Structures are given as C-alpha cells and as structure tokens.
Amino acid sequence: MPKASVTFQDIGVTVTVPAGTRLIEVSEKVGAGITYGCREGECCTCLTRIVSGHEHLAAPSVLEDQVLKDNLAPRRHRLACQAQILGGNIVVQPA
C-alpha cells in the first residue's frame, strides 16, 4: 500500500501513514492539537492549516468547500475530518 508522511508541526511529530487515511485519524492517535467536533464536515471545528503538501490531499468535496467558504477559511486550509491523504509529504498545523 502506498505510504505518505504527515508532520504535525505543533507537537513535532511525523507519522508514516497508508494512503487513504484521513488527517483526523492520524491527528487523534498522535495527540496533535487539531480539535474536532461533528467529524462529518459540518461544524468546521477541525479546520487545519496545510503548511505544505496541499496537493497531496484529495480535493475537497462540494460540502467541504461550502463549509470552508461559510466559515471564511483562509487559503490552504482544510477540514481534517474530510481531508484524505493521497501520498507524499504533508505538513499541517491547527488553524
């Protein structure tokens, strides 16, 4: 299975993950500071800044796009509960 790496800048931890994993799954397990609420892409609690490697995440769904827009999310921000890791190296920080 293809692998990717995600670095959580706030706790200085890099995790090697299988492709297809959602950011929130890794964040929770590693104890990073990304917080979450509904886990269904509605509440925007898990807004996350993608410091680098944005292109290695699956494109946001229509729903995620709408929620990001409604909550005035800056560029290069994603919902951790929705963003799926495709490969490569990604660096993230809680928004």
Partner 1 sequence: MCNRLAAVHIPAASPMKERMRASANPESALAVAPGVHWIGAFDPDLRSFDIILRTANGTSYNAYAVRGSEGVAVIDTVKLGFSETFFRRLESVAEYDEITTIVLNHLEPDHSGALPELLRRAPGAKLHVSPQARLMLKGLFDPGEFADRIVSVGTGDSTGLGDRRLEFFNTPYLHWPDTQCTWLAAEGILFSADFLGCHYCDTRLFNDAVGDFRFSFEYYYAHIMRPFRAHVRDALDLIEPLPIKVIAPGHGPILRNDPRDYVARYRALSAPGLHGASTKTLLVFYISAYGATRRMAEAVAAGAESASTAAGEVRVSLYDLEGGHAQPFVDLIEEADALVFGSPTINGDAVKPVWDLLSSLTMVDVKGKLGAAFGSYGWSGEAVPMIEDRLRRLKLRVPVLGVKARLTPTADEFSACHDLGRQVALHLLGRAVPRTIDMANLV
Judged by the rule CB under 8 A, the positions of this chain that interact with partner 1 are 5, 7, 10-18, 21, 26, 28-33, 35, 42-43, 67, 70-72, 94
Of 20 and 54, the one with the shorter C-beta distance to partner 1 is 20
Least Å distance, CB 15 to partner 1, is 5
Query: What are 28's two structure tokens?
Result: 């929770």
Residue 16 is given by DSSP the state E
Least Å distance, CB 20 to partner 1, is 12
Least Å distance, CB 30 to partner 1, is 6
Of 55 and 70, the one with the shorter C-beta distance to partner 1 is 70
Non-local CB neighbours of 40 within 8 Å, separated by 6+ positions? 81
Non-local CB neighbours of 16 within 8 Å, separated by 6+ positions? 3, 4, 5
Helix, strand, or coil here: 5? strand
Of 17 and 50, the one with the shorter C-beta distance to partner 1 is 17
